[in-house]
Chains A and B, each alone.
Chain A
């Protein structure tokens, strides 16, 4: 955990007391927020190890005593958890790879070329961010159902693999990270334009690719509304659909679904922690540049 070097400017004695008190308040504020943000998740983790009858014991018990793995065993033995898991991760993985490729290519074009209609095309692309999903959901579902393409590997992937947000982000990043001189040098060496992208731009864009990758993975892995509409066969369920169905089927009992929720959160958190720096920095790159 890096901390920026502390700038101590030797505050005067009378100010020192006030500053110290301010510090204490600041840390108290930040730590209580930390508790507020982390507590619900820790509570779920703890509850997933409680016996069904203990989940709602009163007064609430912070620790699962006695701890049991019964919920996890019941889930993995009795429910097609791994099938949901596989569908979710595969769909998210495929979407991520394809969308990172398409967005970086388009972002590169918008950042590094002058071409006729660029401004118009860019605005067209950007305006699609303002189209609410709710507007296209009914017709899109109708089209996909009519075409018998409701398999998750088509319906959950193809319509969403080129998000305008991703292209915008890649354009911002490419403008900063890829010097024109390098591209010109590549041209002199006889590289085709695609080779310029693949050999020169892509390696320089690696942090942004990571950011976009996590972003797409999470967006796909966590998505609920669209899968809820388009996927109907239980054997095609993704994790959110499976958990949702399980919750309904068990009469809104928490034992199995909490175990499923905890396991489902593992990939999201793993991806997030592995690529946290890229994600947080990449996400803000577009917004901060004036």
Chain B
């Protein structure tokens, strides 16, 4: 079965590689941008620390999953080179991973898949934990304080990664085991497919949450905190929960990014990349709705990957690396969008819950059982029993 897929997939070269690359980065960044949309677009929590959560996901793979994989391989009887000390961890890494671990994972697909699932689960937990830690100093205060704390934390996490080789090999970086070694075709394809699938699952989770009463509560907090607090809701607690939940999801992007490159180095997880680009996508597409996030993400990712792919053409005409030109272009784009289309390319629609007669709601005083309203439509009922006059 697997061999059949492999032969069907064929070789990935040239333009096809670009498409796979765009799909992969779209999947990765759409997870981050959707989580950001969940936080900022819907609840008004300005999470400027996306890079921290992504880096936590990547460090989970390099520091925890890799040790687990080594332990499994060693207990299967394969002798690994020593990897206890800092030096050995980095120096013997390539042989340990590529020569000794990957062939074992190729023969044992179940082990590889459970490693992937394990690292995703651990990243979810650790990402949520780091989200909770980040929320501690500033979640009670004004949004600007939260932004300041979160934006400085990205640099901090990079410093830890740079100076502790046991985490991700310091400045040199480490290779991580290829959990898709059992797939005979191209590794990029399967990673992209799995990333897109996880993005889809995340999309449905976020959509369900946003359409639930909790989602309406989030929007209410965004619009007016004081009112929500006055009706007895715990605003600080809800904001913290949102930050924690979305942080866990964001960490998944870090895991998948690490497995796509099969390599983790702290320099890949800069603040400019993983915080600024998701924000750009969100503002470009329009905060508050997922369609806008998808559109913004697709535009920015396609533009950046195409520029990088055809870098050699640009490099003939420019005297500087093209990435700086890209920074200038996208920075200008963000400001232009902010000024000329403040609500993004696809503005947020008013919340419409099927099964609620809005006309009557405005004309007369009606009480609505908001909890049952969306379910009634799904059950195929006519909107009848949920509303009654006071």
Question: Are both chains from one complex?
Answer: no
Q: What residues of chain A have their CB less than 8 Å away from a CB belonging to chain B?
A: none
